[in-house]
Structure 1
Amino acid sequence: MKNEGMERLGKDELSAKDSYYINVMRGLSILRVVLVHLGLSWFYPPYSQYIGIFLPVLFFVSGAVSYYSFLRAQSVGEYLVKRLVLVLVPFYVFAALVLLITVVFYPERFPSGIGVVSWLLVWPNFSDVFFPLNQVWFINCLVVMILISGPIFFITKKRPWLLWGVIIFSLVVSLLNVPFPLYAAVSEYSFFSRLRWGHQAWQVLVLLGLFICGSVHYRYLAGQSAKKYALISIVFLIFALMGYFYSDLGFELKEHAKQRSLYYLFLSFFAIYFLLALERPILRILARMRSLEWLLLYTNRYAYSVYLSHTLVLFYVEQWLGLTDLGGQPFLALVRMFLVLVITLAVAKPLGDLSRTLAHTVRAKLLNGIIGGVRT
C-alpha cells in the first residue's frame, strides 16, 4: 500500500480502481440528493436531516477529478475549458428546456433580459422559475470553485503540499465565524447582495476546502487501508463533536448547514472517509448486485441531468397525479418516490446524451482555438 501511494505521486492519472469508486460515490451522492428531495430527510426529523452530511462528497469527487484534469492539461486555460464546458453545457441544455416550457405554458413567468443573463451565469432568479430549482446552488458553487482552482493548482503544481493550506483556510474561516460575524459580513456585503449571491460567496469560501480535499486525498492518501480511513473518519467525528459545542447552534443540522459550521464541515469529512473506509464491502455488494451497480453508474454518467431535472419531474408528478402533502400517507409517498426516480432516470438519458455531444463539440473547438493561438 505504501509503495502504491508513493508511485501515485508521480502520476497524472487516477488509477482505474480509484476512478471506478469515484464514479460510484458520485452516483450514490446524486441518488441521495434525489431521495432527499423526495422526503428522505424529513421522515424522522431531526435525525433524518443528517443524511445531508453526505452532500459534500460531490465537492470531494469533483475536486479529485478536476485536479487530475489539471495535471493532464498543458495550461490553465485548457484545464478551465475542459472542466467548465463539461459542467456548463448540461446546465445550459437544461436551461433551454426550462425556458422553452416556460414560454409555452407559463409565459407570464418568462424572465426579462437580465433574467436570461442570470441563467447564463448559472444563478437564475428563482421567482422566475415555475418549479423548485434550489439545487442549482451546487452547480453555481462548482463553477466558481473550478475558476478559483485553476490558479490554485497552478501555484501549487511544484509544491502540492500547499494545497493543505486551502483546506486549513476554509476551516479557519468557519472557526472565526463564531467570535466574529463573518457569515453576516459576507452574505450581506452590498455588492454580493445586489447579485443575490451573498450566501453563495460564503459557501464557496467555506466549502472550497472540501473540493481541494479531493485533490489532496488522491495525491497523498489514496491506496491506504480501510482501517486507516476508518481511523481518520473517527478523528473527524471527534472534531465534529468539539465543533458542535463550539458553534452552539443546536442539534438540528439546518442551521449548521446554512452557516457551514465546523460541526457541519467535520461531519462532512467524516462522511467522506466513512465512505472510503467502506470501499471494499461496497464493491463486493456491487459485484453481487449488478442491477444496483448499473443504477449507480448510470446515475453517475447522467449526474447533472438527474441532479437538475428531478425537481421538474417531481413538480409534474405532483401536479398531474395530485401526490402532494403526503406526510401521513407513507405508501403514496413511496409511490411518488418511485415514479419520480424512474421518470427522472428516463428523461436524464436524452438530456445527458445531447449535453455530452454538444459539450465535446464545444470543447474541441475551444481547445483548438487555444492550441492554435499558442502556436501562432
Structure 2
Amino acid sequence: MKNQSRGLIVILPNNTKLNMTVGLKDRGQDVFNQLSELLGISDLHLFGLSVVRDNQPLFLDREQKLSLYLPKSWRKNTSKEEVVLSLKVQYFVENVQLILNSEARLLYYAELKGRVLRSECFEQEGLYFQLAAYALQADLGDYEKRNSAYFSPLGFFPFWIIQKRGNDYILEHTPTLHRELKGMSSSEAALLFMQEAYTLSDVPLTIYRLFKEKKQGCVLVGLTSRGLQISEMLNGKQFLYDLPWSDIHSITFQGRKFDIRADGMREKKMVFYSFSVLHAINLLQHIRSSHRLHLNTKPLVMQLKEKNDRGTYREMYITDGADLDMEDSDDELPPMKFLLDQKRTTDTTECRNVKDSDVSKGLCGLEMSVDEPEEMFVDDPEDILRLVELVEGVSVDGPLLLPISQWKGETRN
C-alpha cells in the first residue's frame, strides 16, 4: 500500500509555525527526522511532539506510527480543521549546562520563557523581575537609553504581575536591572535565565490530569526530572506531595487505574484514573524515560556541581557529537543522543527478549493489562487495533507494574 501523504502544522517553542507533509505510515521518528532537517538542528533529543487528544496532551512515541495519535478524519483525509502538533520540552535535565547544542538550547530557552509567562509562584514576585532582565539581555543585548518603552511587559512578565503592578511600574524599574547586565553575552544571559527559571516550582515540569474516581475528582500529576509532584483538593484543602524518585516504591497501571506507592503521602498508596488506556500508557512511558534520564545524567550533574563548587566553572555541553574533533578530556560529556538512544535500545531489547515467566519478575519493567475494554474511550474498533500495536510485544497478562527499584536492576536513588 502506498504511503499516502497528509499535511500538518508543527508549532515550535518560539511560536513559529511549520507546515509539514508526512506519510500515513510514518512513525514518530520519521517526523522528527524531517523536522530536524527543516530546522537544521540534529539534536532534538530532549524534545517531544505533543498532540491534544480527548482534551489531554500526549507525547508521540517515536517508535509508533503517527496515525496512532491523530484523528480518524486526518487518516481518511476528511478533516476540515488543521492538525497541529507542538514541539515541547519532554525531558527536563537537572542542570541546564547539559543542554545539547546552541540551536536546541535556543528552543529550550524559548519554551522556558513561555512557561515563566504562565507561572504563578506568587511568593517569588521579585524573581520574575530578575528573569525579565536576563531575558531582555538575551533577546536585545545591552541596555540603551531610549525616550520610549523598548519592550512590552506582556512579553516578559506573567499577566498577574502586570495586573498587580501596572505597566508604568514595570517599565520604570525593570530597565535598572537590565542595565546592570551590560557586557553579558546573549548565551550567558539565556543560561542564567534558564537556571533561575528552574527555581520556580511550576516551570520545569509536565502536568498530567488524572481523576480520583472514574472521571471525577481532578488530580494534577506533575512530572519533573527528580520525581513526581501530586496536587489534589480534599475537603476544600489543597494537598501537595513532592515525591523524589527515591521515595517512590512502585507505580502500577491496570486498564485506566493508576496507583502510586510512596513515602511522604497521607497514605502509602494513592489510586488515580487516567482518561483512557492510551493516556495511561503514554504517561507510563514518559515517567519511565524521565527516571532513566535522571539516572544516566546524575554523574554528569555531580561532575558539574563539583567543578562549579571549586570555582573552575567552564561551560560544558552535551552535543550531538557530529562536529566534535577533539581529544578526550575531563570536560567532555557523553552525547545526550547516546544517553537516550541507550535507554531506548535497552528497553527494546528487554521487551523483545522477555518471556512470559519473566514478566512477573519485572525484567522488562512493563506489565500491561487492558482488561477494561468498555472504558477505553477510543473512537472506533480501528482504534483498538492501534492500541494493540502500541503494546505489541509486551505481556498483557498482568497489571502494569513499575517497581522503581527494579528498572534495569538499578538501585534506588
Same fold (TM over 0.5): no
Higher helix share: 1
* Normalised TM-score (structure 2): 0.23
* Normalised TM-score (structure 1): 0.25
- Tell me which of the two structures has the higher relative contact order, counting C-alpha pairs closer than 8 angstroms and 6 or more residues apart: 1
Q: Which protein is bigger by CA-based radius of gyration?
A: 2
Higher strand share: 2
